[in-house]
Amino acid sequence: MHQGRERGEPPPDPEKLKVVLATDCGSTTTKAVLFELRPEGWRQTFRGEAPTTVEKPFEDVTIGARNAISEVEELSGRRILDQSVSDGLAFVRPAGGKDGIDLYVSTSSAGGGLQMMVTGVVRTMTAESAERAALGAGAIVMDVLSVDDGRRPHERIRKIRHLRPDIVLLSGGVDGGTRQHIVELAETLLAADPKPRFGRTLKLPIIYAGNRDAAEDVRKLLEGRFGFQQVPNIRPVLERENLGPARAAIHEVFLSHVMSHAPGYDKVMAASPVDIMSTPHAVGVMAELAAKRRGIDLMAVDIGGATTDVFSVCKGIFNRTVSANLGMSYSVSNVLAEAGIENICRWLPFRADPDAIRGSLRNKMIRPTTIPQDMRDLIVEQAVAREALRLALSHHKSLAVGLKGVQQERTIADAFEQNATGASLIDMMAVGMIIGSGGVLSHAPDRKSAALMLLDSFEPQGVTELCVDSIFMMPHLGVFGSVHPGAAQEIFERDCLVCLGTSICPVSGRIRPGTPVLKYEISGGAKAAGTVAAGELVRIELPVGERARVVLEPLGRSVDVGAGRGRRLEIEAKGGHAGIVFDARGRPLALPDDPDERAAANARWMEALGIATG
């Protein structure tokens, strides 16, 4: 038994791993899971949870981690922690018999995760590029400063001092361009003199990714007061964007400066030979692995109490956005303000008093840990979730975060196209899988209601597999996948994903409700045949684990189910809790204008899926 491998020692041979422990140190909860190689392959076997202890009075993240791991020990009967060491994390190694582990890995979003401020000369140019770089590296962007943001210098200084970011990404100007504006931004940072959240002696890291001709002037201003690092310009010329070096630097600074000074993380880093990943970054790694293995475009969403993260892998490019003001508890009033009470009430299968709904949502913000007490409360919460998901997806499409991994470039014309339509990277007809996570989706009392929330908010087109992450295991699998991608994929398929079913959503021009748009014939795991009319939602039972052959025949030249307008398509559909769902309600989804008709339509659609309405 020993305390852990020395920092920098390479991970063990993946083929020799049999028992792996992974933790995710979240903002409020630390989750520990055990992965084991069983005769049938890799499985997730036991899990434990405990409150995160990164803040006062504990200020040591390993206390919460030990508590969560102790629950895994109790449930599994396996000795994991080396009890002879009371401080930090020490494990029984290697795995042998019923005791020990072979590898420990961890992710973290404790203390609010990686929080950054970014700057640029022009908000719609370099500042937007900086924001894409930070988001793609797994950060929450606290604010975006630019010369043209309309704020006075003292307002910017006050804002910087108030936010206390972990890292500042300073960008602006093309190479060889004017140096004045980027130097002014550096002077603003110098005047604000922001202090980092963690580490009393730590110099706040500033990553400079701006005009290379201004680099020396900026360095002279900032290097003595801050941890200064220069990387290639994220916008070397107006027509090109180069985010790779900045993202790599953000990740490295996150590990070497931020995490090493956060309370107790030095002990976590010493206990594992694998770098700690930020939780969103690990989810992105797992999403990329899953998309690559299947050869499909994939989307995932994590809707929490304060934020909603959307991930996509489309056309081989990874994208991530975080909507920091869209959540189900702490930020629920922001959803109300941004969506409007009318848009929330439009999803209800009954008439409701808008003022009463407003009051219940404000109470939820004041008491964020409360849960719905009856069916009507649950339906209202799920209506809010639809709007939060819809707005987060719209945000994701508009920013089109991408180009993860190697140093890549794209033209500015691409960026404008993405901002205008979101279609250059994200084509919902090409998306083959949507994965939902977060309490309102993963823990919905009826899995079919989770499927309907994804259909209503993401509006998939063509043929799409709908799933939820059963216990928000994607972060654990993402960091494990950096060592053993094959094992992570096995666990992802067997124990992480809960299949809701297969959605088939024909897209067409304007068609009168009630007009037949699609003929189907199903054989194999289920046998059925029939037609689907515009405005209808039809569910065919197909249990989890079963597959069926489905022949789709568009009834009209304008109808597209994924093979092109008017073209026949034959697919293999996967079963799930909702089975096969035909959604012919139109894209974009249009609800009736009349409140009574709208409530009746929602009730009818919920009934079609077998969801209780009260």
Model confidence over 530-544: pLDDT tens digits? 999 999 999 999 999
Does residue 127 fall inside a structural domain? yes
**C-alpha 102: how far from chain center:** 29
Strands (E), 324-425: 409-411
Q: What is the mean pLDDT of residues 472-501?
A: 94
Does residue 472 fall inside a structural domain? yes
Task: For residues 205 and 79, state if they share a domain.
Answer: no
pLDDT of residue 34: 97
Percentage of the chain surpassing pLDDT 90?
54
Name the residue among 485, 480, 614 with its Cα closest to residue 32.
Answer: 480
How far apart are alpha carbons 506 and 586 in whole angstroms? 8
Task: For residues 125 and 192, state if they share a domain.
Answer: yes
Task: For residues 118 and 163, state if they share a domain.
Answer: yes
* Count of structural domains within the chain: 3
Confidence of residue 9 (pLDDT cuts 50, 70, 90): low
Q: Which of 89, 110, 131 is the last residue of a domain?
A: 110
Does residue 365 fall inside a structural domain? no
Task: For residues 530 and 578, state if they share a domain.
Answer: yes
Asked whether the predicted pLDDT for residue 85 surpasses 50, the reply is yes
Domain residue limits at 522: 283-323+407-609
Does residue 340 fall inside a structural domain? no
Q: Report the range of poorest mean pLDDT among 408-422, 544-558, 575-589.
A: 408-422
Asked whether the predicted pLDDT for residue 415 surpasses 50, the reply is no
How far apart are alpha carbons 360 and 382 in whole angstroms? 13
pLDDT of residue 125: 80
Contact 321, 395 (CB under 8 A): yes
pLDDT of residue 50: 92
- What's the mean pLDDT when you consider all of the chain? 87
Confidence of residue 402 (pLDDT cuts 50, 70, 90): very low
Does residue 549 fall inside a structural domain? yes
Q: What is the mean pLDDT of residues 439-465?
A: 95
Task: For residues 75 and 214, state if they share a domain.
Answer: no
Asked whether the predicted pLDDT for residue 551 surpasses 90, the reply is yes
Q: What is the mean pLDDT of residues 107-130?
A: 80
Confidence of residue 422 (pLDDT cuts 50, 70, 90): very low
Name the residue among 324, 287, 325, 581 with its Cα closest to residue 456.
Answer: 581
* Alpha helices (H) in 254-347, listed in sequence order: 260-261, 265-271, 279-294, 332-339, 341-345
The CATH code of the domain that includes 87 is 3.30.420
Asked whether the predicted pLDDT for residue 218 surpasses 70, the reply is yes
Task: For residues 596 and 559, state if they share a domain.
Answer: yes
pLDDT of residue 448: 97
Q: Which of 71, 92, 110 is the last residue of a domain?
A: 110
Does residue 6 fall inside a structural domain? no
Task: For residues 30 and 118, state if they share a domain.
Answer: no
Confidence of residue 110 (pLDDT cuts 50, 70, 90): low
pLDDT of residue 270: 87
The phi-psi region of residue 347 (left if phi > 0; otherwise alpha if psi is between -120 and 50; otherwise beta) is alpha
Q: What is the pTM of this model?
A: 0.82
How far apart are alpha carbons 370 and 359 in whole angstroms? 14
Q: Which of 62, 82, 110 is the last residue of a domain?
A: 110
Does residue 569 fall inside a structural domain? yes
DSSP for 63-86, please give it: HHHHHHHHHHHHHH----B-TT--
Task: For residues 183 and 49, state if they share a domain.
Answer: no
Task: For residues 105 and 156, state if they share a domain.
Answer: no
* Phi/psi of residue 250, nearest 5 degrees: -60, -45
Task: For residues 507 and 583, state if they share a domain.
Answer: yes
pLDDT of residue 6: 44
Task: For residues 151 and 85, state if they share a domain.
Answer: no
Dig out the tokens for 151 from the structure. Answer: 């704020």
pLDDT of residue 384: 96
Does residue 118 fall inside a structural domain? yes
Asked whether the predicted pLDDT for residue 603 surpasses 70, the reply is yes
How far apart are alpha carbons 17 and 94 in whole angstroms? 9
How far apart are alpha carbons 320 and 281 in whole angstroms? 9
pLDDT, tens digit (0-9, with 9 covering 90-100), for 38-83: 999 999 999 999 988 877 778 888 999 999 999 999 999 999 999 8
Task: For residues 189 and 291, state if they share a domain.
Answer: no
